[in-house]
């Protein structure tokens, strides 16, 4: 980062940003890419670039775009979402087909279908190319655009032992994040056809996301894409190790079949185990976990979580679950949106 060659990226003159964008486009086999500050901005620029005001966008009911992006698509794009069931992290072609609007003077135009792979809220669950291809076929049949929220696409690729471009194939646009499992301090990219990227670039500027000497941070993105992808398998191993070490504890609900990548969602079924209080106890041991209300918690493994750390997490849960004292349920403050 300190040695990054920089220029003014608003004028397309930052060589390091240009290199990163080229690398992302090549990696996903798309014509072009756009570097943005965050995943939320990547999704919003993509949605805006695919649509016109008043269009309807089909999204998973549990997707990040629907739940956790502050209704940006409605505010900035005048878009309406049609949420469909994505329980377990999977969207079926049939549900998409049923959600597409026909011709009727009363109805908005369905324009875009968004998928999420891996699916965050379902616990980092992977959609296979067979599943996504079936959805893409329906979208094509109805003349719809398709966007993939691939915040954790490389986790899916590593899980399936497939190149990321195979999972991106057929989508009009794909967003990837550099700052989650890939470990860069900041940054995301949306990738797609050149004309789509030019529209998205204009929206990035409108949203205040045009950066100047952004090569300093883009340099970390190049490291992320070139050296952090294959090692995601280690994060999957540590997550699995934790899951197997705690799933049988009394009061913990954990579906091992959903622990495919680096995310674990736990449920607490004992009133004396409150997610907010458990996370406070974990924090005292240097373990950061995100409670969601009083009965759910998200754990994520990453580059800095070693196998020894994973062992310490298992020990901590075993200690907490065996020493928890009965207390009234439902007194916890609400936690993270996850």
Alpha-carbon span 243 to 259, nearest angstrom: 7
Q: Which is nearer to ligand PLP, 116 or 172 (CB)?
A: 116
Q: 116: which residues sit within 8 A by CB, 6+ positions away?
A: 60, 63, 64, 65, 86, 89, 148, 149, 151
Annotate each residue in 152-171 with x if it binds ligand PLP (CB under 6 A) or - if it does not, as one string: --------------------
If one asks whether residue 38 binds ligand PLP (CB under 6 A), the answer comes out as yes
CA atoms within 13 A on the CB side of 233: 8
Query: Least distance in Å: CB of 328 to ligand PLP?
Result: 32
CA distances for 99 relative to 74, 240, 326, angstroms:
19, 35, 46
If one asks whether residue 39 binds ligand PLP (CB under 6 A), the answer comes out as yes
Query: Least distance in Å: CB of 114 to ligand PLP?
Result: 10
If one asks whether residue 274 binds ligand PLP (CB under 6 A), the answer comes out as no
Alpha-carbon span 96 to 82, nearest angstrom: 10
If one asks whether residue 149 binds ligand PLP (CB under 6 A), the answer comes out as yes
Query: Least distance in Å: CB of 271 to ligand PLP?
Result: 30
Query: Least distance in Å: CB of 201 to ligand PLP?
Result: 18
Q: Which stretch binds ligand PLP (CB under 6 A): 11-19, 34-42, 72-80, 240-248?
A: 34-42
Query: Least distance in Å: CB of 318 to ligand PLP?
Result: 29
The alpha-helical segments, DSSP class H, found in 100-187 are 129-141, 153-160, 164-168
Structure tokens at 238: 């540590």
Q: Which stretch binds ligand PLP (CB under 6 A): 19-27, 38-46, 198-206, 218-226?
A: 38-46
Is residue 135 within 8 Å of 91, Cβ to Cβ?
Answer: yes
Query: Least distance in Å: CB of 188 to ligand PLP?
Result: 6
Q: Which is nearer to ligand PLP, 297 or 320 (CB)?
A: 297
Query: Residue 208's Cα: distance from chain center in Å?
Result: 22
User: Which residue's beta carbon is nearest to the bound ligand PLP?
Assistant: 39
Residue with tokens 């032992």: 161
C-alpha dihedral sign at 52, 168, 115, 189: negative
CA distances for 214 relative to 24, 217, 288, angstroms:
16, 6, 30
Please give the residues from 181 up to 210 whose contact with ligand PLP meets the rule CB under 6 A.
188
If one asks whether residue 40 binds ligand PLP (CB under 6 A), the answer comes out as yes
Q: How many residues bind ligand PLP (CB under 6 A)?
A: 11
Binding residue for ligand PLP (CB under 6 A) from 120, 132, 262, 294? 120
Residue with tokens 């918690």: 297
Q: Which residues bind ligand PLP (CB under 6 A)?
A: 38-40, 43, 64, 116, 120, 149, 151, 177, 188
């Amino acid at each position: 980062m300190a040695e990054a060659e920089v220029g003014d990226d608003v004028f397309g003159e930052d060589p390091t940003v240009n290199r990163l964008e080229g690398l992302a486009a090549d990696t996903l086999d798309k014509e072009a890419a756009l570097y943005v500050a965050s995943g939320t901005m990547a999704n919003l620029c993509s949605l805006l670039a695919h649509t016109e005001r008043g269009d309807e966008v089909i999204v998973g009911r549990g997707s990040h775009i629907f739940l956790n992006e502050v209704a940006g698509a409605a505010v900035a794009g005048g878009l309406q979402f049609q949420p469909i069931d994505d329980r377990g992290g999977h969207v079926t072609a049939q549900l998409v087909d049923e959600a597409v609007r026909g011709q009727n003077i009363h109805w908005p135009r369905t324009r875009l279908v968004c998928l999420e792979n891996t699916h965050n809220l379902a616990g980092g669950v992977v959609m296979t190319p067979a599943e996504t291809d079936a959805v893409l076929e329906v979208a094509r049949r109805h003349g719809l655009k398709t966007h993939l929220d691939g915040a954790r696409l490389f986790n899916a690729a590593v899980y399936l032992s497939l190149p990321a471009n195979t999972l991106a194939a057929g989508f009009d646009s794909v967003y990837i994040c550099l700052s989650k499992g890939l470990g860069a301090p900041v940054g995301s990219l949306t990738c797609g056809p050149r004309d789509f990227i030019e529209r998205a670039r204009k929206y990035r500027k409108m949203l205040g996301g045009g950066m100047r000497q952004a090569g300093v941070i883009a340099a970390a993105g190049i490291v992320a894409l070139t050296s952090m992808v294959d090692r995601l398998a280690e994060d999957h191993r540590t997550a699995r190790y934790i899951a197997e070490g705690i799933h049988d504890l009394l009061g913990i609900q954990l579906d091992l079949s959903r622990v495919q990548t680096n995310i674990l969602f736990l449920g607490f079924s004992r009133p004396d185990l409150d997610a907010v209080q458990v996370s406070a106890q974990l924090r005292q041991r240097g373990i950061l976990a995100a409670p969601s209300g009083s009965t759910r918690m998200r754990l994520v493994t990453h580059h800095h979580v070693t196998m020894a750390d994973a062992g310490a997490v298992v020990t901590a849960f075993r200690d907490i679950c065996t020493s928890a004292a009965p207390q009234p349920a439902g007194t916890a403050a609400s936690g993270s949106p996850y």
